[in-house]
């Protein structure tokens, strides 16, 4: 799984920096979810996750992946976000199933 994690993390790095919807789509499982906890999902499939990112990108939000922490079932991205409201940093926990990301969970918002 380590090679899959490397490929996925690099893909997210490029997709976030460029606002690349097609690349992001290729990294996500069709049933990918986004949200805080099991019962609190904001997005329930790949189409909803992509729509979420489309909205962020449309409003000028971009992310730069500044770190990757590998875990047994996925990885955590450290993302420096540039937004119209100002910069901030977040951690996003990704769970990998096969060769795609199945869940994206905001881990925490960090101080600059």
User: SS3 for 46-79, per residue?
Assistant: HHHHHHHHHHHHHCCCEEEEEEEEEECCEEEEEE
Q: Identify the band that residue 39 occupies on the pLDDT scale cut at 50, 70 and 90.
A: low
Task: State the pTM of this model.
Answer: 0.88
Q: State the total domains in the chain.
A: 1
- The predicted model gives 6-21 an average pLDDT of 94
CATH number at 22 reads 3.10.450.50
Specify whether the CB–CB gap between 77 and 64 falls below 8 A.
no
Q: Which two tokens stand for residue 11?
A: 């893909």
What residues make up the domain containing 53? 2-110
Report the largest interatomic distance among the alpha carbons of the chain, rounded to a whole angstrom.
37
**SS3 at position 16:** helix
């Amino acid at each position: 799984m380590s090679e899959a994690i490397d490929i996925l993390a690099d893909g997210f790095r490029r997709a976030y920096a460029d606002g690349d919807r097609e690349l992001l789509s290729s990294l996500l499982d069709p049933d990918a979810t986004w949200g805080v906890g099991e019962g609190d999902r904001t997005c329930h499939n790949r189409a909803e996750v992509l729509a979420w990112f489309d909205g962020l990108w449309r409003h000028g939000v971009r992310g730069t992946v500044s770190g990757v922490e590998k875990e047994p079932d996925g990885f955590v991205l450290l993302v420096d976000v540039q937004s119209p409201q100002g910069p901030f940093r977040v951690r996003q926990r990704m769970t990998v199933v096969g060769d795609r990301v199945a869940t994206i969970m905001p881990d925490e918002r960090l101080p600059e």
